[in-house]
Structure 1
Amino acid sequence: MENFFPFAETTDGITIRVSVTFLPEQSDVDGNRWFWAYHIRIENHRDSAIQLLTRHWRISDARGGLHKVDGEGVIGEQPIIQPGKAHDYVSGCPLNTPSGAMEGYFTMVGEAPPAFEVRIPHFPLMAPTVEP
């Protein structure tokens, strides 16, 4: 599992795993656009169900630019994850530099309030270098 998901962090019994892939076919180097897909797996190791309510991302590029993304759910869903189960989704991120990084947190709720934050591990966005 560690090879496919090289980035992982556990908060309060919930593990977030991340893998990232550079997509050259969706990138335009001459147009200063690089694109990555990232796969997130949310594992519930608690004794009760959880629900993902919101996402909060900090996306940085190689020039030091920072973009924050806040929104409800992930890819249009606010999944409920039963104990011992996982939820996977894939999304993408464009940058105007060939490298950067992402990190953030999900806001979750258990069987009873209050809501709590679950960290998403920091992971790099790196386009392969092309030697002339």
Structure 2
Amino acid sequence: MNDTPRVCVQVQSAYIESQSAPEEERYVFAYAVTIRNVGRIAVQLIGRYWLITNGNGRETEVQGEGVVGEQPHIEPGGEYQYTSGAVLETPIGTMQGHYQMIDADSENFRVEIPVFRLAIATHIH
């Protein structure tokens, strides 16, 4: 029996025009994350790390405990969803990072979050 934790992460991003001010170089994006436990043991998300890169290559690192004030437990076959946001000085950028997790056997592991795009639809190339 393989008890290795298996966690999948999906992200969808959207430009929030109503909160943005392009004339002030303020572009607001929301991103919705779904974290699925496709393994056979329970896991808990205990920390996060994001690398946010704007269209000019400027990088910002964000790290901390949990996500949106929570450190969710995710049972086998279960999922956790949350929405958060990022503010860029450019109409296009990227995010990537990882979640620090712990399984039911108190083993720490990391789940990579592949790069995803933050962009106004008219600026996607």
TM over 0.5: yes
**Which structure 2 residues correspond to residues 1-132 of structure 1 after superposition, within 5 A?**
12-129=5-122
Matches of 2:85 and 2:65, distance apart in 1: 16
Q: Amino acid of the residue matched to residue 17 of structure 2?
A: P
Per-residue Cα deviation, 1:85-108 (whole angstroms, up to 9, x for no partner): 100000000001111000000000
Per-residue Cα deviation, 1:29-85 (whole angstroms, up to 9, x for no partner): 001000110000000011111000000000000111000001000000000000001
Q: Amino acid of the residue matched to residue 45 of structure 2?
A: L
Which structure 1 residue ranges, 5 or more long, are not aligned?
Answer: 1-11
Q: Amino acid of the residue matched to residue 95 of structure 2?
A: M
Q: Amino acid of the residue matched to residue 78 of structure 1?
A: Q
Deviates more, 1:112-121 or 1:89-98: 112-121
Q: Amino acid of the residue matched to residue 71 of structure 1?
A: G
TM-score, structure 2 normalization: 0.92
Contact 1:18 1:121 in 2 (8 A): no
Question: What's the % identity of the aligned pairs?
Answer: 37
1:113 offset after TM fit, Å?
Answer: 2.9
Matches of 1:57 and 1:32, distance apart in 2: 21
TM-score, structure 1 normalization: 0.87
Matches of 2:120 and 2:34, distance apart in 1: 22
Between the two proteins, the alignment pairs up a number of residues equal to 120
Matches of 1:14 and 1:91, distance apart in 2: 20
Which structure 2 residue ranges, 5 or more long, are not aligned?
Answer: none
